[in-house]
Structure 1
Amino acid sequence: MAPTPLSIDVPSSYETINLTHIKLSHHPAGAPTATPVIVVTLNRPEKYNAFTPQMADSLEHAFRMIHLDPRVKVAVLTGAGKMFCAGSDLDVGFGDGKGRAVDFRDIGGRVTIAMHRCQKPTIVALQGSAVGVGMTMTLPAAVRICHEKSKYGFVFTRRGLTIESCASYFLPRLLGFSRAMYLISTGAVFPPSPQHFGDLFAEVLPEAAQVLPRALELAQDMAVNVSPLASTMSRALMWEGPDSPEAAHLLESRVFHHMTGQPDYKEGVASFLQKRPPIFNTNVHDNGPSDYPWWDEVHIDRELRASKEPSKL
């Protein structure tokens, strides 16, 4: 049986939405309606932004709205206060292991799936330290920027737990199995050096106050100069690509051929030759290849669908 469609309201303004334990804002802040860059802030600074089921619900909802909103091009995820995320709130816990395992969905995994399926890239601005789910939730992001004096780690095995948030899929693909095994097996925290994290962090900045402004600068550049359709297709080719170079060549060729017939290709070339910013207006729903998605999607819940009219929130 096909999943039951789930309707999501796309708001006129993200800044009028009240979601538990997170804050949504425009860039620039105070803009009356949605901007190309939306900032998602973990907002429990008094608890070091410790992760809760309510925060997971809010993040999942936020990324689903951003996914469906054609006005939004890039999401920036950051934290309020000195720490990005202290991991799960241990005062809340994870349950008692009772009930059917087949019915359980880890809350961090719900968030990473929402971020991964969001057709808008996410830049994570880790302005402070992060451990546990505070790290694993960032793995589907396109870019991670952090603070060189903060510490980061996957501490699950030191709490008697296994990794979650789809980290068994993302982490070895991002770091390689050797580094991923070391980080998971030790459960230790480290400064963001390439020795331990390889290229997981695209940029490491000397001051915490530099992290979010740099993420916003990069997000604004991407929102103006990058085709959303080309970006979505390129990321899908990497995450959902075949296992052999020959099969990758066939798939890439098919998608590339499709892209050469789209308005963004013509606009990208024209804007470059005319030395002006591009105006990209395509999206996956209207301009994607007929076989997109070309992989077999596994549904963890009901199908997502936008409501017909923008919300007045």
Structure 2
Amino acid sequence: MADDLLVTHEGAVRVLTLNRPDKLNALNPALHEALAGAFAAIEADETVRAVLLTGAGRGFCAGADLGQNIGGEMRDLGASIDAHYNPLVRRMRGLGKPVVAAVNGVAAGAGANLALAADIVVACDSATFTQAFIRIGLMPDAGGTFFLPHLVGDARARGLAMLGETVTAREAAAMGMIWRCLPDAGFAEAALALAATLAAKPAQAIAAMKVAFNAAFTNGLDAQLDLERDLQRGLGRTADFAEGVRAFAEKRPARFNGGS
């Protein structure tokens, strides 16, 4: 249903709110389809400069909706991953705009890894993260085995995945899993302010950073240095760069408009 995902506009920020609070915003096919449509619209809309992804109620996302498989029969989970989870993660990482995940409560299983697919993750004090897959005989998916080792190191990644322990937002911030833990009070407003700050940054520089950071996971140093050179060459020919230099010389805040 369309109401499973709330899409709102706050200036140049597109806010996507997972809206199945009675299910802790667990992911089902309808919600996946709504997310795919929302990100397709964001890709095509040049007025959108940043994305804020959050959840309604007391949870961010509890992962896959297991209520649809209570019978416990064997399933081809790879088909669901191919159809929904992998395209969503690729879309978030490949989007030329910053994505902020505002984790407002429980983030478990694929829900935790959906958050980690964002560019910047903030969580409220009461939020928790759990690689819950082991509890039902599965391994992390939705990018979990990729993001976790890069974010927290191999030893912690294996422990989190194999033990399925829950970590608090403060613990997640301390181990480098997320950008920052924020107070519960005013969390939604603080997350929106962060997204608005990103929306005011030079858009092409942000897009180039995403390309470079994504490539850094697999590039060697020489390839990464060459990529930085090529991306920086393009940025040096943008109106935003010219504006940034002028603003620096004139000792005033830069006014970036994303121009090429």
Question: Common fold, TM-score beyond 0.5?
Answer: yes
Aligned in 2, Cα 1:46/1:102: closer, same or farther, shift over 3 Å? closer
Aligned counterpart for 2:59 among listed residues 57, 61, 83: 83
Aligned in 2, Cα 1:98/1:90: closer, same or farther, shift over 3 Å? closer
**Counterparts in 2 of 1:19-58, with a 5 A limit?**
19-27=2-10, 35-58=11-34
Q: Are 2:116 and 1:139 aligned?
A: yes
Identity %: 27
Task: Give the drift of 1:104.
Answer: 6.2
Task: Give the drift of 1:196.
Answer: 8.4
Q: Are 2:231 and 1:255 aligned?
A: yes
- Structure 1's consecutive aligned runs of 4 or more residues displaced over 6 angstroms after TM superposition are none
**Counterparts in 2 of 1:97-108, with a 5 A limit?**
97=75, 105=82, 107-108=84-85
Task: Give the drift of 1:159.
Answer: 0.9
Residue 241 of structure 2 aligns with which residue? 265
Using the alignment, how far apart are the partners of 1:228 and 1:259 within structure 2? 10
- Using CA pairs below 8 Å that are at least 6 residues apart, which structure has the higher relative contact order? 1
Aligned in 2, Cα 1:67/1:175: closer, same or farther, shift over 3 Å? farther
Aligned in 2, Cα 1:196/1:24: closer, same or farther, shift over 3 Å? closer
Using the alignment, how far apart are the partners of 1:221 and 1:77 within structure 2? 15
Residue 229 of structure 1 aligns with which residue? 204
Residue 124 of structure 1 aligns with which residue? 101
Residue 298 of structure 1 aligns with which residue? none
Task: Give the drift of 1:50.
Answer: 1.4
Indicate the structure with greater helix content: 2
* Matched letter for residue 239 of structure 1: N
**Counterparts in 2 of 1:165-176, with a 5 A limit?**
165-176=142-153
Cα deviations by residue, 1:115-154 (Å, 9 ceiling, x for unpaired)? 1121111111111121111101112211111122232111
Tell me how many residue pairs correspond in the alignment: 256
Q: CA RMSD in A?
A: 2.3
Q: Point out where structure 1 has 5 or more consecutive residues left out of the alignment.
A: 1-17, 28-34, 288-313
Q: Point out where structure 2 has 5 or more consecutive residues left out of the alignment.
A: none
Aligned counterpart for 2:164 among listed residues 181, 187, 190: 187
Cα deviations by residue, 1:183-218 (Å, 9 ceiling, x for unpaired)? 1011121212347861122111232x4222111111
Aligned in 2, Cα 1:173/1:43: closer, same or farther, shift over 3 Å? same
Deviates further, 238-247 or 133-142: 238-247
Give yes or no for contact 2:93–2:210 (8 Å, CA) kept in 1: no
